[in-house]
Amino acid sequence: MPELPEVEVTRQTMADRVVGGRVLDVRMGLPLRWPLGIEPSELVGRTAQDVGRRGKYLLLHLDEGLLLLHLGMSGSLSVRENPPAPGAHDHFDLTTTRGVLRLHDPRRFGAVLWSPSLDADPARKLLAKLGAEPLGDHFTADAFYAALQRRSTPIKQVLMAGEVVVGVGNIYASEVLFKAGIRPTTRANKLSRPRANSLHAAIRSVLHRAVERGGTTFRNFSNALGETGHFQVEAAVYAREGLPCRVCGTPIRQVRMGQRSTFYCPTCQKP
């Protein structure tokens, strides 16, 4: 499900309902991507202080240590006072004095893992290589252009890799490249400064707008309150193979890049 806007919306809705809660119980379902890294019982008694985010990792800071939560491909988080009995795909329940934080994740590519601090492993290792926050002050056009000069990989894969900028997943990668008029296969270091500027602006505006709208409804997304997103603007190119480009009418093309479907308009997007 989640790209950055969905994760950020989850962070916001979850923080309101979990901060200040003291852990009463921890229930683990089937294994997720990694083991928790601590005896669940050791979390009991700790209090949630804050919910941060780095890339697509949610950071639930406790009064000692933190939990890193990742939604993988199919995860979603909810916080409810009286949740129903856990279903087959509910693999983590953190019961607190304020409600139950629950991870629902059918494919189990998601993760919940404990780290003593941000500077210690596993947090340090997992977050070390992450690129700039696309909506943050450090993600400037200057820095973006400079980073692109060091990569000869196709721009779409540079965006997806998350080492230059985080949070641009498979859908938004196609969407922002369309908005910037750039072919996904164009090598990053071949982009001119004006085109890099245009892509930088597209990333910020598209993601900002998606967060404002509460996450996308390209597929199904619900925030930690169970409300669905309101991103009504339809995809410009994603999943529109063969359909006419909304700008020029040319049929949208689909190609595979790094085993991920990629969509573009051959007329609007220049190599």
Q: Which residues are catalytic?
A: 2-3, 56, 260
Which residues of the shown chain bind DNA in the complex (CB under 7 A)? 1-3, 5-6, 30-31, 33, 55-57, 70, 72-74, 88-89, 106-109, 126, 129, 150-154, 157, 162, 169-171, 215-221, 258-261
Strand partners, 70: 57, 111
> Of 129 and 270, which CB lies nearer to DNA in the complex structure?
129
Rounded CA gap, 21 and 44, in Å?
11
Helix (H, G, I), strand (E, B) or coil at 263: strand
- Backbone region of residue 55 per phi and psi (left: phi > 0; alpha: psi in -120 to 50; beta: other values): left
Measured from the CB atom, is 125 or 270 closer to DNA?
125
Q: What is the nearest approach in angstroms of DNA to the Cβ of residue 48? A: 22
Please state the closest distance from residue 137 (CB atom) to DNA, in A: 21
Which run of H or of E encompasses 53?
strand 48-54
Q: Give yes or no for a contact between 241 and 256, defined as CB atoms under 8 angstroms apart.
A: no
* CB closer to DNA, 15 vs 155: 155
CB of 174 to DNA, least distance (A): 9
CB atoms within 10 A of CB 31: 10
State which residue, 81 or 256, has the beta carbon closest to DNA: 256
Contact 72, 1 (CB under 8 A): no
User: Is 246 annotated among the ligand-binding residues?
Assistant: no
User: Judged by CB, which is closer to DNA: 2, or 99?
Assistant: 2
Q: Answer yes or no: is 107 a known binding residue.
A: yes
Residue 159 C-beta: closest distance to DNA, Å? 10
Q: What is the C-alpha separation between 125 and 113, in angstroms, rounded? A: 13
- Which alpha helices (DSSP H) does 107-169 contain, by range? 123-128, 141-148, 155-161
Q: How far apart are the C-alpha atoms of 105 and 140, rounded to whole Å? A: 34
Angle, CA 173 vertex, CA 260 and CA 249 arms, to 5°: 95
Is 151 labelled a binding residue? yes
* Least gap, CB of 152 to DNA (angstroms): 4
Point out the annotated binding site: 89, 107, 151
